[in-house]
Amino acid sequence: MTLVSLSPQNPADVVAEQAETSPSAVGAIVANARSAQAAWWASGAAARSAALTAAANALAARTDEAAALIVREVGKPTAEAVGEVGRAVAILRYYAQASFIPKGDVFAPSAKGFLWSERRPHGVAGLITPWNFPLAIPLWKAAPALAAGNAVVLKPSPDAIACAALLDEILQSVLPANLFTVVYGGAEVGEALVDAVDIVSFTGSNAVGKHIAVAASRRGIPVQAEMGGQNAAIVLPCADIASTAATIAGAAMWFAGQKCTCTRRVITLGHQPEFLSALVNAIDSLKTGDPATAGNTVGPLINETSLMKFRSALESAKAIGAEVLTGGDVIDGLYVQPTVLRGVPADHPLSCDEVFGPLLTVHEATSLEHAIELAESVKYGLATSIHGTQHDVIMKIVESVHTGMIKVNAGTTGVDFYAPFGGERESSIGMREQGLAALDFYSSTHTVTYSPSK
Ligand code: NAD
């Protein structure tokens, strides 16, 4: 079968066509990767660091081309696409240096001799990735996996095969053969990969992530799954109205709300009509349109399935008589209006379940405890933002919310790649990604006791 990737802003534009990898071929591809891995690990930290640095340089040299491809293939607005390439380069540089980080500890032995622990690679890492960060997500998994001495087989989303092919080309030009391989396809190829590799890292939807975590656990291999979010922004009465409205508008609606960390719910502490009207104005001032045009911050949805889910969310809002504060309609093609709904009960699926698009519900809390309860009332636990100036109140919320990421006076979106990233509850399974946490995930610790022979 052939996979076809269409540009969401112009579905007549075929960005790439790619033959699907046969699921039955995945085992042999992983076996080749396993052979390459042994030599990669033996080559030493300096060689691995040099190769990752060369990868960073090669990608940096093609920044404009890579950013334009991200815009064309997944509809990400240009400024964000350029930012993604910059981040991908920085990730490669960071993990190039991480090759030199001590890989264990030395302990006082309980008898004569030595006692130490050391991290060793697992072997072949299978990476299964979504379409929305088509360079950064594959690289924030592949770079630490390679730095820790593993080989990588990546299965990208069928909606991001052109970006994956570019990444493949760049990495092939600097890495030994078979160390990094891309397999193309959907669920069947992904499942074949989970069945063959030594460690799995997944990012994507909740249902698929849970399924993969079960399959990997059955095989007894390490797995991490980063999944969806239904992230809340808590707005205190002391918050600066204009800057908070602008921050939340961007976190909810840029890239048409297609990030796992997007703000999906706004919880105001008490009645805050002035803030809500500033928020609606800030959202209305965002420019929706061709993501390649400078200044447009809201592009199209990724595909027809996503559009269908957005339409059905609008219908269910209508069915319960929710008030539409702005938006509420499809514009044209895959473009939809950034939409804000009021009057959706906190336990309604529109408040609780992720709609991967520019949809925001607003809720009013009667007390601080109520605001925290509302924020925590969903099955997800990825990100929360808190907006205000009263330190003691902010700290109480910081200490009471159990999401993996907590932001104060900053949007729920935006990730620092050198700090641990991940969620709680149904947003994540397994260890944290990024930063030094990723090196722990991609290696196993062995403890060696070495005593003299007599
Ligand atoms: P998706 O779950 O549909 O697909 C993700 C990947 O899994 C794709 O490569 C897909 O082909 C593959 N896949 C699908 N079924 C599979 C199966 N049975 N076995 C193995 N692989 C399979 O997600 P998507 O639509 O590409 O991305 C959007 C989702 O990703 C949203 O839910 C979003 O919140 C989430 N996301 C999470 C993060 C995070 O870090 N938490 C980041 C970005 C996106």
Q: Which of 73, 80, 163, 260 is catalytic?
A: 260
Q: What is the pLDDT of residue 197?
A: 98
Q: What is the pLDDT of residue 36?
A: 98
Distance 408 CA to ligand 1 centre (A): 28
Q: Is 413 helix (H, G, I), strand (E, B) or coil?
A: coil
Instruction: Write the residue with the smallest CA distance to atom 9 of ligand 1.
Output: 157
pLDDT tens sequence across 337-372: 999 999 999 999 999 999 999 999 999 999 999 999
Q: What is the pLDDT of residue 28?
A: 98
Query: What length is written for the chain?
Result: 454
Distance 268 CA to ligand 1 centre (A): 31
Strand 114-121 versus strand 443-450 pairing type: antiparallel
Q: What tokens were used for 118?
A: 């050391």
Q: Which of 73, 84, 226, 354 is catalytic?
A: 226
| Domain parsing of the chain, residue ranges | 2-227+427-450, 231-408
Q: What is the pLDDT of residue 332?
A: 96
Closest CA to 417 of 137, 166, 145, 222: 137
> Residues enclosing ligand 1, CB less than 6 A?
128-132, 155-158, 186-187, 190-191, 203-205, 208, 211-212, 226-229, 260, 354, 356, 382
Q: Is 99 helix (H, G, I), strand (E, B) or coil?
A: coil
Instruction: Write the residue with the smallest CA distance to atom 30 of ligand 1.
Output: 204
Distance 131 CA to ligand 1 centre (A): 8
Report phi then psi at 100, rounded to 5: -90, -5
Separation CA 412–CA 20 (nearest Å): 36
Separation CA 229–CA 245 (nearest Å): 21
Mean pLDDT of successive 10-residue stretches along the chain, which has 454 residues? 97 97 98 98 97 98 98 98 98 96 96 96 98 98 98 98 98 97 98 98 97 98 98 98 98 98 98 98 98 98 98 98 98 98 98 97 98 98 98 98 98 96 97 96 98 94
Instruction: Write the residue with the smallest CA distance to atom 40 of ligand 1.
Output: 226
The residues, ordered by sequence, that sit 6+ positions from 184 with a Cβ below 8 Å of its Cβ are 3, 18, 19, 20, 21, 155, 156, 158, 161, 164
Ligand 1 atom nearest the C-alpha of 260 is: 34
Separation CA 398–CA 376 (nearest Å): 12
Q: Which of 260, 380, 412 to mutate to test the pocket of ligand 1 (most atoms within 8 A of CB)?
A: 260
Asked, colleague to colleague, whether 2-227+427-450 and 231-408 share their fold, the answer is no
Q: What tokens were used for 341?
A: 């709904």
Q: What tokens were used for 110?
A: 């309980």
Strand 330-332 versus strand 2-7 pairing type: unpaired
Instruction: Write the residue with the smallest CA distance to atom 31 of ligand 1.
Output: 205
Q: What is the pLDDT of residue 444?
A: 97
Total Cβ atoms within 10 A of residue 2: 8
Q: Find out if CATH 3.40.309.10 is the number for domain 231-408.
A: yes
Q: What is the pTM for the complete model shown? A: 0.97
Separation CA 410–CA 4 (nearest Å): 38
Q: Which of 70, 131, 189, 205 to mutate to test the pocket of ligand 1 (most atoms within 8 A of CB)?
A: 205
Q: What is the pLDDT of residue 281?
A: 98
Whole-angstrom distance between the N-terminal and C-terminal Cα of the chain?
Answer: 65
Q: What tokens were used for 153?
A: 């087989």
Q: What is the pLDDT of residue 450?
A: 97
- Provide the b/e sequence for 87-111 (b: ≥16 CB within 10 Å): bbbbbbbbbbebbeeebeeeeeeee
Q: What share of the chain is helix, strand, coil (3-state, %, to 5)?
A: 45, 25, 35
Distance 129 CA to ligand 1 centre (A): 6
CATH for 2-227+427-450, options being 3.20.20.70, 3.40.605.10, 3.80.10.10, 3.30.360.10: 3.40.605.10
DSSP lists the bridge partners of residue 126 as 153, 200
Strand 330-332 versus strand 335-336 pairing type: antiparallel
DSSP character string of 125-147: EEEE--SSSTTHHHHHHHHHHHH
Report phi then psi at 387, rounded to 5: -125, 125
Concerning whether 226 is annotated as a catalytic residue, the answer is yes
